[in-house]
C-alpha cells in the first residue's frame, strides 16, 4: 500500500523533472508572501542547486542579518556558490568566520577553503585542511578533486596515493554504495589511467 506522503514526494519529483523552474517560482512566491530567514534560504538553496550562483549569493547575503549573521549552513552554501564562481577571496573570508565550527570541519566545503588558500599562495595553511578531507571511506568526490589538484601541481605521487586508496575502497563497496559514488569512482579511474 502506498502512503500519501510517498505519492506527494513522487509528484514533486516528477514536477521538478518536467518543469524545473516551478520549484523556484513556488519558492519565490513563498518568499513574497512571508520574507523569513528560512524561506530566503530555501530559495537560495534551490537557486544554488539550479546553478544560478549570482542570485543565490544575493539571497544568502540577505539572509545573513540579525540573529542569523553567523549561520553556518548559509556560510557553507555561500562558499559552494563562490567556489563555482571562482571567488577565492570570498571563500576565504566566509570560511575564516566559521572555520572553528565542528559542522564546517566535517563538511566537504573545507576542500574549497584549502584550495582557495593554496591558490593565494598559502600552501602551508592549506595542508591541514587537505589532510582533513583525505579520510578513508568518505569524501570520495572531494578526494578525487584533491587528487586532481595534486596532479595540476605536478605532485603525481600524492595524487596516485589518493586515487589508489579510493579505487581500493570502491572494490570493497556494496552495490548501493558503489552506485551512490559511481561518478567519483569513474573519475578516479580516468585520472589514474591518465597519470
Of 17-21, 50-54, 83-87, 161-165, give the lowest mean pLDDT range.
17-21
Predicted confidence band of residue 15 (pLDDT cuts 50, 70, 90): low
C-alpha to C-alpha distance for 18 and 125, rounded to whole angstroms? 46
What pLDDT was estimated at residue 34? 87
Average pLDDT, the chain: 87
Q: Is residue 31's pLDDT more than 90?
A: no
pLDDT digits 0-9 by tens, 109-163: 999 999 999 999 888 888 888 888 888 888 898 899 888 888 888 888 998 999 9
Q: Is residue 182's pLDDT more than 70?
A: yes
The packing angle between helices 123-133 and 140-152, to 10°, is 150
| C-alpha cell, 134 | 583525505
Q: Is residue 2's pLDDT more than 60?
A: no
Predicted confidence band of residue 88 (pLDDT cuts 50, 70, 90): very high
C-alpha to C-alpha distance for 24 and 21, rounded to whole angstroms? 5
C-alpha to C-alpha distance for 56 and 23, rounded to whole angstroms? 14
Kindly state the average pLDDT of the residues 1-25.
Answer: 67
**Please, what sign has the CA dihedral across residues 37, 39, 41, 44?**
negative
What pLDDT was estimated at residue 7? 60
DSSP annotation of 121: T
Q: pLDDT > 70: what percent of the chain?
A: 90
Radius of gyration of the chain, Cα coordinates, nearest whole angstrom: 19
8 Å CB contact between 53 and 87:
no
C-alpha to C-alpha distance for 56 and 78, rounded to whole angstroms? 8
Tell me the backbone φ, ψ of residue 77, rounded to 5 degrees: -65, -40
Amino acid at each position: 500500500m502506498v502512503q500519501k506522503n510517498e505519492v506527494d514526494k513522487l509528484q514533486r519529483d516528477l514536477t521538478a523533472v518536467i518543469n524545473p523552474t516551478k520549484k523556484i517560482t513556488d519558492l519565490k512566491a513563498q518568499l513574497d508572501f512571508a520574507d523569513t530567514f528560512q524561506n530566503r534560504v530555501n530559495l537560495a538553496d534551490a537557486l544554488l542547486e539550479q546553478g544560478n550562483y549570482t542570485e543565490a549569493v544575493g539571497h544568502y547575503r540577505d539572509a545573513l542579518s540579525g540573529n542569523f549573521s553567523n549561520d553556518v549552513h548559509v556560510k557553507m552554501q555561500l562558499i559552494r556558490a563562490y567556489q563555482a564562481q571562482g571567488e577565492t577571496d570570498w571563500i576565504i573570508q566566509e570560511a575564516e568566520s566559521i572555520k572553528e565550527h565542528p559542522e564546517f570541519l566535517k563538511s566537504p566545503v573545507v576542500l574549497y577553503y584549502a584550495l582557495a588558500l593554496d591558490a593565494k599562495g598559502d600552501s602551508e595553511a592549506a595542508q591541514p585542511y587537505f589532510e582533513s578531507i583525505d579520510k578513508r571511506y568518505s569524501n570520495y568526490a572531494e578526494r578525487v578533486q584533491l587528487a586532481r589538484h595534486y596532479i595540476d601541481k605536478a605532485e603525481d605521487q600524492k595524487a596516485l596515493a589518493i586515487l589508489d586508496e579510493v579505487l581500493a575502497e570502491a572494490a570493497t563497496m556494496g552495490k548501493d554504495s558503489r552506485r551512490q559514488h559511481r561518478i567519483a569512482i569513474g573519475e578516479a579511474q580516468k585520472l589514474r589511467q591518465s597519470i
